[in-house]
Structure 1
């Protein structure tokens, strides 16, 4: 017996046709390491502030840029890699890869930019982001 499907005039088959067409090709990069198309982060909060750990394997320390604007944090990274395979004196394949990656997120409270610190070791960026002291509220007497 054949499977029958009821026609629904309100569904559009075109979005399903192109689903995933414009995503980057993950298997075609020359980078032998992990995929950097999305920066993986862990955020922990304490009473004093936030601790952020971001995985950026294979990125040079000078190619990382961290920007803090109130409660918003942005991590930018540039990657430039080149790979060449030789067979004796003859070049068999030469590939170049260059890309920029960014990750932005907003924290629950503002960060004190002047006391923030960053450390990059073994492909992990560690940010220590202390919370900005909130101004004390003043109670007004009603007369």
Structure 2
């Protein structure tokens, strides 16, 4: 039987992942803004860009959503307005979110701020961000004497 040294932090990554998943699955309210419990975000990358796709139903105009990129973090924020008012005594069930929301997503690679494109269609926001290309490696000539 092989002995494995005791590492008290061995399971911390799994705990952190479970803890993050628990809080992402329920709406969290921070300063009156929804921290995207119901709005899901997928992030993937290709060789040249990072692509974020977000379910964001209920937007009526482009001024209702804002995108900011700082370093390797994309922030999506905005407001979802109620299309028509319903008296409280007439409401039987309320599950759809109305109000301000904000979500910050860590990106897997640094992106260029120039060239970012976003589109919104059928309740889905897609943000395409070109990856920041590292400067080309410079070959240094060595003089031999």
TM-score (norm 2): 0.59
Contact 2:58 2:81 in 1 (8 A): no
RMSD of aligned residue pairs (Cα, Å): 3.0
1:59 aligned onto 2:59: yes
Name the counterpart of 1:6: none
SS in structure 2 at match of 1:136: coil
Looking at secondary structure, tell me which structure has more helix per residue.
Answer: 2
Name the counterpart of 2:10: none
Unaligned runs of 5+ in 1: 1-22, 25-35, 86-90
Q: 1:139, CA displacement in angstroms?
A: 5.6
Q: 1:133, CA displacement in angstroms?
A: 1.3
Name the counterpart of 2:133: 133
Q: Which runs of 4+ in 1 moved over 6 A?
A: none
Cα distance in structure 1, aligned partners of 2:100 and 2:37: 9
Looking at secondary structure, tell me which structure has more strand per residue.
Answer: 1
Q: Alignment length, in residue pairs?
A: 105
Higher Rg of the two aligned structures: 1
Q: 1:111, CA displacement in angstroms?
A: 0.8
Name the counterpart of 2:85: 83
Cα distance in structure 1, aligned partners of 2:98 and 2:52: 26
SS in structure 2 at match of 1:62: helix
